[in-house]
Structure formats: structure tokens, C-alpha cells
Structure 1
């Protein structure tokens, strides 16, 4: 029955509790006419609203396909480095702009929370609150209904009491990154996501197949329940007997999945990145530095086991800080004075810290900068290190621009412009550089090395990105005998991190341990080792596991190529495709 048109005279007399349902009919009529004014999804409003990005053809076509043919429920399974996050955010922004979506929940691994918050804000002007934000935590479980746009750790969300609170909510859109973690239908995570109420859902993964084809079935079922039939019929029709990873009836399976999955490949896309070259300079500590490093490390080891979680976190940060320069650890050592019983040792360490004013790493940095003829970005994780570097550059009459989280947006923009136009060096912290495209420079110096490899990847991604016309050069300053020296060995010598495609590191780390963050693996190995020989054994074991994870990733990549082929790419424009089939 068609909705009757209600004129402006009627509207004045309408109220929500009208006994003849006029108000409800008017609202329905109004929404129908509003939607009719919007063009179909072959025209994307989001392309003009996004900031600082120029989407590739395959990304634009993927969004159109996801929203039109797939009706806003789909799996984005592009190979790593092709921009699944951009596709998902463009599609989300399109739905929000058209008034089709208000409440959004983005579920990601803990290490990607800040990255998603950064992407959505800086590139799409969408403000999300994260599950570890103080405002969110203050609301306890009520927060899931209090805020309309949430980015949360899926590990937190799937656990009680959060899972119960989330299941009571209605979300317009749910986005899950690294969705392959939900490949097992018997897990709490799969059952949790399957139970949520949502209108639209995007699953993002570069590796939809891991150990067997049943996992692919489970992922597809989260988005399209019943589309692949029952698990029993799926196995009978498409899984080889005796080998659960090898499909049969390839063509039939591809035809079926091509209406459910989007998977662009690097070989068929127009994405091109310049080469990356990495080099390491190993630095030897002075005797005072060595004594300080060993003393602080002993304190960390002695106090770590049995300490409350908050103290453990502080001790881990302290261990990271001394891998930068001694000055970086000063304020943390002072903060521990009233928290640890060993105050005498802490006082001695603070005195040692203050006495080392010109560490060897800083001396090496100045030498390297003086030899460079091009612009360079120097990254450090810590504000005290940033302050020491800028102070030293000033004394050496080396033109520099600062960039850190304590600066206002206008100050940051001004500093970047100065760097682009006249200064030689940009001294940046990880927080200060968030959301910045710095591809007019092609040199990076990692003054210190974050324990989270994704942070290293994000640093490189500031210049190794679309628009970079030159090869990218990465120089790592590594102090011999430090934990960072061993991390660099793991990432460079074992898995050739700096030669991998952007995004592959994250996939490999996910295969290493899905539940434990990389930095936690490192600090656990460090604190339980009685001496350096034992720590080296732990690192070697971790290195072999990393190498196995890398080899597994490439093996599965070959398997996925056989399953999907080129049938799932959107490199060819979708304009000629009908909106519905």
C-alpha cells in the first residue's frame, strides 16, 4: 500500500502520539522522499569529503561494489598494502553522509586502536572514542550505549561484562579489522560477533584462509548466514577429501565466492611503491652509559615479577627509555620513588642519569646528519629524547623543525612547512607525527626503536606512501647490547621487515601469537632470563617462530591465489555492472 503524501497544512497539526498514525506515516513519507533525492552509489559523496587521500580506482570500485551489489555487508580481502582501511572508511563515510548510519562500532586488535582513530579523524574527519579512553572507562559498561562511534579492542569487547552490554545495543555498522582472528566458529569471539545486532557489517582481512577452508566458511557466515549452505554441504561440494586446505570444483567455488568477497591483488592494481633501503649503525655505549643501562635493567628484572600490572607497565616503559638515551628515563625513575621499596638504588640511578649529558648515540646522530645532503626525519618515541636532540642541534647550528604531541595543530602545520621549505631536519615523536603525510622527504633516522613493530612501520609509512617519487632510505641507530639491538636482529635479519610490503609485518605478527602483543613477548623473555646468554636463547627461539610465521604467511598466500585467482578484483571499473543482479 503506497504511503499517502502529507502536505504542509497537515504537518502543523501532527504530534507523535496522533491516534490516526499520521505522524508515523509522515515520517515514513519524508524519509522515502529524502532517500529518493540521493543518487545511487555510482556517485560517491565521500570522495569529496575525505582529506589528504587520492583513492585508487580499485578502492573506489570496491566501495561502489560493497554498497550497491553487496548492500553494505561484505568482506574486504585485498592483499596487504592495497588499502582495505581506506575502502572501509570511504564506505562508512558514504553511509553516514547519506543518513543511513549513525551508530558505528569498529573492532580491532589492541595494537591497531590508535591507528584506526588516527585514520578516521585525520583523513575522514570522523571523531571516534576508543575503549581505553578515560571518558569511556568512566562510564563502565554503559559506555557501549552512551557513545555513537566507538573503536574498541575485540579482545576487550568479547569478554564479560562488556560482551553482554554490547549485545544489548543496536549498531548501524560494525567493522572488524584483522577478521581472520574470528575464523573458528567454536570460539567466544566468533559467537560474540555473530550475536550482535547490526544493519551493515564489513570484515577486513588480507588472509581469509589460514589452516583450512572451514575457516573461510565461518567468516563468510558471519556476513552472509546461509549463503554457503550448511558446513556439511560446503565440505561435500568444495573441500578435497583428506586435505581440508585444498578446494575442489574451483570454478564453481570461485563463482560462488565472487558474489560475497572483494579481493584486489597487487598484480592487477595500479598501486606502485618505490623501493625501501634500510641500514643499521651499531653504537657502543661509553662506560658510564653501560653501567647505567645494566643497573636499570637489573632493577627492572628484580621488580617486574610479582608487581601489580600498572607497575609492570611503568617498568617496561623504563626499559624502553634507556634504549633511547639515559635522559629519557629521568622522570620515570622519579615517579617510581614512592612506588618501589628500593629508593636508595633509585636515587643513585637518577644521579647517574643526570650525569650523562652527551651519550654516544647523540654524538653519532650529529655525525650522520652532517654527512647527509638531503632532508631527514629523526624519529624518537620519548619527549626527553626529543628535547635533548633539539637542544644539541641548536648548539651545532643545524637547522631543524620540531614536531611533538605537545604542540597545537597550527604549530605542527607551521613546523612542517618550515621543514619542507627551509630546514634540514624534522625531529618528530610518534604522537606528533600522527596523521602527517611527509612524502616530500625520503630519509628517516630511527633514533630509538619502538618495541611494537607496527610503530616502526607507521614511521616508515609517513614517507613510503602514495606520492613518494624517490626510493626511501631508513637508518636505524642501534646500541649494542640493548634489547632494541636484539629486536632489530629479529625484524631485519629474520624476516627482512624493511623489505616487506606495507602491511605484511602485521599479518606475520598475527600468525606469531594472536593473543599476545609483540612487546609483551619481548619483556617476558627479558625479565625471565637470568643472564644475556639465556636472553639470547629466548630471542633465537622467538626468531625461529617469526621465521616460521613468515613462511606460513607466504605459503597461505600461494594457496589463496589458487582459490581466488583474479576473479575478485575490482580493478576493472564497475560502472557497467547493474546495481543489482
Structure 2
């Protein structure tokens, strides 16, 4: 295709156009930029979040597995393209890296994970407020956001995304300090709350999430409860009030567009030998003691939990751990310094990666208690230490004497079963093995290499510093030396190298918990939980590395079952039957996972059972109590209410999704063509282009951009970024931004443009009707600033016979190739005046469209404020009613009481309440006046914001011909 500078300028303005409305075209840039499939429900959700410029936020509450991260990623990508780059993500600590990888891989968005360490690094470089980033999206945890709430509040954020927002649903309660801190920090910021469980156990949770967005969605909690939690509550009214800020899509609504494979569970039982069981029982009894020298009291629960996990993992894991504990006790005996000893022992304990994140550490934070080990008699203290040293040394000797590792032998059975199952479905021979111990990881590597898998295994952990990883990383660097895939960060690049090696060469990856975060292993159809976490959310996170959108095969999940451990068997039963983690299309339901406050609380309860229960009967009783509590929580009678409030907001959702999909495909196709042709025009002297493969070789980078020469490939949905030896090219790339900015700023004088419809590859009837005709054309850009910026590209055109061409015909004309005539005949003054006069009509029509849209936003917001005023009144009236009811109850009690002293006390209470009642009556009017005054003030501010400013810029005039 051959285009002119006029095409390029028009295309560039389309590519950078700001849309104030919430049509699909507003998302065209982000949808084209992103390495994601076009799922219409995700587009629908993103458009919902953009619907009103006056809204302070929304809840995106799609059922689990439907891609809420993608939905918010589209929003972030679009705002980034609009140069709105003050963007924040607040999430659980364990999800920070996953978010960073998603933004990078799917949206090409730069981000920084901000915690105490990175903040210190920024401040050393002179950055006063590390949250105030100019060219990176900030990702932080709930805990760090809580501690740094003042710094967060100082930044004028364009958008904040809060993931797993149900964790903050009790923000209205005084005890919820983290929720209140985040709410205060982001009080004036537009927010997107992500949660699959906006309503789990009680309607107050809806109130909590709404108040996190905006205190004026509902009034006081008293009015909310009196309207919606009473026996005769108006759920229809509540649903209507939720519709503007809560969006939920169900799995059943999108099965036409999304194909999910299933997960199939296999269990491999094993029976430890008597010697193995003796070691387990001995160490377990030691861990159950209330106090020992070996385990510091301050973090006893956390360290005990880790030790129990290592004990169940492998003999190698517990040997190394016991040896570290002995060394610590010997240091204590020699009176060596024990400052920060609890932190030191955590470092010595072969600590699994999952316990290194700050969220877990805070959950297990214990009150500091003085050590009671140092007895008054130094000799007795020394003897006590020596007894523990001897005891632990005996455990070590017993462990080293074991001739068999029954669990490891069972792994060979598991692999054989798993690979046989994969063969039946022609799935690739890939297995991901999870362990909670790095020592177990090293042991399994040696064991499997000795049993037929030498050269077929790769390790993945928090450091990735083993010899295999180093070799893989070195080869990956050599292979990608001339591509744009090397980031320069070893942790990021070595992770990419290991995943690719597993995908392309290795059969088995043995991963610690670090492997469950932030990597996509959808090419792997077999997952083996060598060590099974007690935290159901972490189990789900593990399986989600393989069983995810894009997986082409059913995923086989294999768990081990210790036949001599009653507690292990009950944990497996709970995770299987109550959480349904291992079978079905989606695994654990959002209702089940969301019904628990968090998985770590569940894990604490499991630890308590292991610590306190000595025999099978005690274990059975304790687990029955836990299961009964879970049943009560999970089966809370909210399903009917949840369905009424959250489902079927739009009865015509299916047709809307189909419409979105069709319109999106058209817009992206147009966007892609415009971007490619504009790139060819701007870079014509700097690169050679291959239209068939959508690549170009850049040999003369623009000055000042510091770009590599080499092959660049236009992003497309099929390639998914797997472009060996090529740079991925998209509008958000520095070169893409340069192309769009350069073409948009072309200074063009009037020329004659001859459009060629004869050789156009497809039929355009409206342009064919103009063949042989000519005329004049003007393109203007109308900028309107009101509630938000809006841009219109307005064509005004006529044939030489005086017939006016509409906007669509002009757009279609510019889809044709063209050439510039050598004859330059400037437009006459009459022609200019004619174009200008008619263009005023187009401008007025666009302004009218903006005004109508703004009026709708204004009226919606005014209606919300009117309801808020009514909520405030109801809360005040409820307080008065409660006081009257209390007076009536006391009067009845007085009439029943014959004791004079009791009557006097009751009468005194009644007098106090009567005074309070009179005060409340007066206050009702004050409250009403105050709320109405506040509402009117807010409405006045909205009116001022609604007053639009407009500016018209003439982009170019041409004479046109159609040949």
C-alpha cells in the first residue's frame, strides 16, 4: 500500500485520538498493544470501568478464572497510552511479582515493585517520594501501603487497582487498620477493585467495598442495614444502586468464547518404613514441646510450622535443618552472641520461599517474650543445652542411618502414572514437581538423575543460582544477544531462560514455592505436589501455573498420601472434598476460597492440630471440629441473595458481548493497518519493510532514541511474542511513539491527492461511486475539555458539483492508496469559506454529543447524591427510633420492678434517654440541612466542571480525485 503524508497525518491522529466516551474504539490502542486474546467479557468489563468520568471507582467481580487481571491491565494500558502514568497496584505481597510479569509480558508496561528495600534505594538516588514514579507503574503490598499511607496520599494518581479487594471488605470497622489506611491514602483517587467474592457471608461486605470506593455511594452503615438487612429488605433497590459500580460476568456466559480444559486428580499413597516413622514421631514429639532452647520463643509458631513442613518433605531436608539447630545450641553453650537469633535461625532453616513474603511474616508475628531458657544456675543451663544437643544429634544419626526414602521411590511411580496419562491424550511429556524445601529439591535432582532422567531436569527456586541454571542462562544470553529480550536484570532474565529451557528441552522442572509466582507454564500438563501446602490458596496458585487459559490439554494433578499419618490424610481430604482443588474445570470455587478470611488462618489451625493432638482419636476430633466450622462458613445462606444482587445485571449480556467482539475486531484491524502504514511512511528512509511477514529491518535509528538496529516484528495475537531474534514492535514501543508523534506533527501545505479505488483489494461501494469525480476536503481536530478530554476528527468535503460527503465516506476514501499530483492549485477563498461554514455544523454536532453525554453523567451523579442524602436522613432517624425503643423497654421494665432503688435507676436512665431523644430530634434537621448543603455544593462543583472548553485545529486541506 502506498500512502501520502496526508494519510500518515490522519492515521497518526486516529492512533493518538482521545475518546471521552466508553465505546470500544477508546480501547483500540490498548487492545492492539496487548499480547492477549480478544475475550469480549474482558473488553466489556474494561469499558464498564471507563463508563463515567465522575465515578470514583468500580468493582470488577467476574467469577474466578475469567481474567480480572487482564481487564485491569487493559485499563492501565489505555491510560498509559493516553499519557496518564500515575498508576498504582495494591495487592497481597505474594502477588506482586506476578503482577509485574503480567504487565511486562502482556502489556509491555514498565513497573516497579515498591517495598522497604527498593524505597531505600530510590531515596539514596535522591527520590524524595518513591511512590511518585514518572515512567513506571507502582506495585506494592497491602502492608507496605499501610505503612506508607502518607506518601501514597501525596501522589495525584490517575488510577489505583486493588487486587483481592475482599480482604478489605471490613474497612468500615474500627479494627480494620490496613483497610482504613488504604482508603485514606486513596481517598481522592479513582479505584478499580478486583475480587471474585464481593459478597460472601453478609450484606455489610457490599457496604464495605462501596465505602472503599466512595463514602457517598451509601450513607452510614445504620441506614444500609435498616434498608437492606432487615427482614423485609428491598434487594431490588440495592441491586439497582449496585449496578453503576459493580460488574460481574459468570463462567456460564462466556463458554462460547473461552475453552477451558479440566484438571484430573491422581493420588499416590506411600507407607513409610518403621525407621522412617520412628524418626518422624521423635522429631514431632520434640516440636510439640511448649518450650525448647532450639526454637526461639518470639517466632516459635512460624519456625515450628516450617520444621513440620521440612520433616514431611524429605530426610535430607530435616537432616540439614537439625544440624543448623545443633550449631545454634552449641553457640549458645559457648556464650556466643545470640542477637537477632530468631532471624538467623530462619536463614539456617532451609526456609521455603513462601515464608519469605512480608504478608506471611506479619500473619505469624508474635508478641516478643523473654527467653526463659537461661536459668539462674549456669551449670544447669549448660546441662539443659547439652541434653537438647544430644537429643537432636540422635535424630540426625537416625536420619542418616535410613537406607530407604519411601516417598522418593513413590515419585517414580507418580511420574510413570502421570506420563502414561499424558500419553493417552497426546499431551507433551512435561512434569512440574513442587517441593517446599530447597534441600529436597537438590535431593530429588540427584535421585531422579540416578533413575533415568539425567539431563532432563531443570530447577527453579528463589535464587536460580545452581550450575544447571547458570549454564542455561549463559546459553540464553548468547542466543538472544542481538534481540530485545534481554532486560539486563539477572533475576528476570534467568527466569525467562529456565522457563524456555523447560518448554523446549527439559522434561521435568522441580520448583520451590517461588515457581508458583509469576510464571506461565501452560505448556506443562502434569503437576506433582511432592509436598502439599496446607494453605488452599497456595495450592490453587501452584495449579494455576499450568491449568490456566491457553492450556491445550487436561492437567493431571498428583498428590502423595502418607498412609501412616492420620493428620496428613485429613488435610488431603479437606483440600480435595471441601475445597475441590484437584478436579473439574475450575478447581476451587471463588465462594469456597473467599469464604475463609485468608488461607494462612487455615494453616494456623492445621498447625495447632499437629502440635496438640497425639493419637488418631484426638486428630479425628480436631479435624471434625475444623470441618464443621468450615461447613458453617462455606454454606452460609447467602447464595440466593448473591444471585439476586450480582448476577444477570444485563439480561442481554450475550448479544452485548458478541457485539463487542465484532466491533473490537474491526477496530483492531483498522488500528493495525494505520499503525503499519504510518510506520512505513515515517521510517521509509531508515528501515526496509516486509509486508508479508509484518517485519522491518531498522538500520538507521532516529537520533536520541538509543534503539538497536535489527529486525522488528509488528505485534499480533497469533505470535504471542515468541519472536526469536526479533524486537516486538507496537505503539507503546519508543519507536512506535516516535512514529505516531512525528506523523501527527507533519506540517502540510495544500496539494491534490489522487486516490486509487481501481486497485483496492476489497470493494468499497461508496468510494467506487465517486470514481472519476474530484472535489475539496478539510480535516479538523476538535478538542473538548469537560469532565474528561475528548477529541473529534472531523472531515468536511464536497464534490466539484457541490455535493457534501459525509464523515464515513471521507474515512473510506483514506483507506485507499493515493499519490500526490505534481500540479498545486491552492483552494480559493470561496472554497475555504464554504468548508469553514459547513464545518461549523459538524463542530456543533460534536459539541452537542459531548454535552448530552455530560448531562447523563451529571444526572447519574446527582441521583447518587440524592440517595446519599436520604441514607443520611435514614441513619439519623434510625438512631432516634432506637432511642425511643430503648425508652419503651425501660418503661416496661420499670412497671415490672417493685424494688425502689431499681426503679430510681431505671427512671434516671429514662430521663437521660429522653434528653438524648430531644437532642436527636433537633439533630435530624441539622443533619438533613448539612447533607443537603454538601450535596448542593458537590452539584455546583459538577456544574462548573461540566462547562466545556473547546479548541479547533485545522490539520490539512486538499483537493481530491478518485481514480
**TM-score, L = length of structure 2:** 0.50
User: Is the counterpart of residue 564 in structure 1 residue 564 in structure 2?
Assistant: no
User: Is the counterpart of residue 260 in structure 1 residue 245 in structure 2?
Assistant: yes
Q: Could you tell me whether the CA contact under 8 Å between 1:207 and 1:557 is conserved in 2?
A: no
* Pairing of 1:208-223 with structure 2 (within 5 A): 208-223=198-213
The residue that corresponds to 1:332 in the other structure is 321
Q: Could you tell me whether the CA contact under 8 Å between 2:547 and 2:555 is conserved in 1?
A: yes
Distance in structure 1 (CA, Å) of the matches to 2:444 and 2:15: 59
Q: Could you tell me whether the CA contact under 8 Å between 1:495 and 1:547 is conserved in 2?
A: no
The residue that corresponds to 1:69 in the other structure is 52
Q: Could you tell me whether the CA contact under 8 Å between 2:249 and 2:647 is conserved in 1?
A: no
Distance in structure 2 (CA, Å) of the matches to 1:442 and 1:36: 40
* Pairing of 1:309-324 with structure 2 (within 5 A): 309-310=298-299, 312-324=301-313
Question: Measured at CA, do residues 213 and 424 of structure 1 come closer, stay the same or move farther in structure 2, by a change above 3 Å?
Answer: closer
The residue that corresponds to 2:458 in the other structure is 402
Question: Measured at CA, do residues 247 and 127 of structure 1 come closer, stay the same or move farther in structure 2, by a change above 3 Å?
Answer: same
Q: Aligned to 1:454, what secondary structure does the other structure show?
A: helix
Q: Aligned to 1:403, what secondary structure does the other structure show?
A: strand
Query: How many pairs were matched up?
Result: 536
The residue that corresponds to 1:7 in the other structure is none
User: Is the counterpart of residue 551 in structure 1 residue 635 in structure 2?
Assistant: yes
The residue that corresponds to 2:274 in the other structure is 287
Q: Aligned to 2:308, what secondary structure does the other structure show?
A: helix
Question: Measured at CA, do residues 86 and 356 of structure 1 come closer, stay the same or move farther in structure 2, by a change above 3 Å?
Answer: farther
User: Is the counterpart of residue 176 in structure 1 residue 231 in structure 2?
Assistant: no
* Pairing of 1:401-550 with structure 2 (within 5 A): 401-405=457-461, 406=464, 407=469, 410=476, 413=496, 416-417=499-500, 419-421=502-504, 423-432=506-515, 434-482=517-565, 483-499=567-583, 502=586, 504=588, 507-514=591-598, 516-550=600-634
User: Is the counterpart of residue 348 in structure 1 residue 394 in structure 2?
Assistant: yes
Distance in structure 2 (CA, Å) of the matches to 1:319 and 1:35: 61
Question: Measured at CA, do residues 379 and 214 of structure 1 come closer, stay the same or move farther in structure 2, by a change above 3 Å?
Answer: closer
Deviation at 1:59, TM superposition (A): 0.9
Q: CA RMSD in A?
A: 3.8
Post-superposition Cα deviations, 1:520-555, rounded to whole Å, max 9, x if no partner, equal 222233223355543332222222222333323xx4
Tell me which of 24, 37, 40 is aligned to 1:54: 37
Question: Measured at CA, do residues 43 and 182 of structure 1 come closer, stay the same or move farther in structure 2, by a change above 3 Å?
Answer: closer
User: Is the counterpart of residue 199 in structure 1 residue 254 in structure 2?
Assistant: no
Post-superposition Cα deviations, 1:163-213, rounded to whole Å, max 9, x if no partner, equal 566556654433222323333423334543432244321112222234444
Distance in structure 2 (CA, Å) of the matches to 1:535 and 1:352: 26
The residue that corresponds to 1:366 in the other structure is 412
- The structure whose Rg is larger is 2
Q: Could you tell me whether the CA contact under 8 Å between 1:89 and 1:120 is conserved in 2?
A: yes
The residue that corresponds to 2:289 in the other structure is 302
User: Is the counterpart of residue 226 in structure 1 residue 312 in structure 2?
Assistant: no
Question: Measured at CA, do residues 533 and 276 of structure 1 come closer, stay the same or move farther in structure 2, by a change above 3 Å?
Answer: same
Distance in structure 1 (CA, Å) of the matches to 2:619 and 2:94: 25
Distance in structure 2 (CA, Å) of the matches to 1:313 and 1:428: 22
- Flag structure 2 segments of 5+ consecutive residues without an equivalent: 1-12, 20-24, 330-384, 423-428, 477-493, 665-848, 857-963
* Pairing of 1:58-137 with structure 2 (within 5 A): 58-69=41-52, 73-108=57-92, 112-113=95-96, 115-116=98-99, 119-120=102-103, 123-124=106-107, 126-129=110-113, 131=115, 134-135=117-118
Deviation at 1:387, TM superposition (A): 1.9
The residue that corresponds to 2:830 in the other structure is none
Q: Aligned to 2:80, what secondary structure does the other structure show?
A: helix
Question: Measured at CA, do residues 514 and 430 of structure 1 come closer, stay the same or move farther in structure 2, by a change above 3 Å?
Answer: closer
The residue that corresponds to 1:277 in the other structure is 264
Distance in structure 2 (CA, Å) of the matches to 1:61 and 1:240: 31
Distance in structure 1 (CA, Å) of the matches to 2:300 and 2:251: 45
- Flag structure 1 segments of 5+ consecutive residues without an equivalent: 1-33
Question: Measured at CA, do residues 334 and 90 of structure 1 come closer, stay the same or move farther in structure 2, by a change above 3 Å?
Answer: farther
The residue that corresponds to 2:958 in the other structure is none
Distance in structure 2 (CA, Å) of the matches to 1:291 and 1:547: 35
The residue that corresponds to 2:918 in the other structure is none
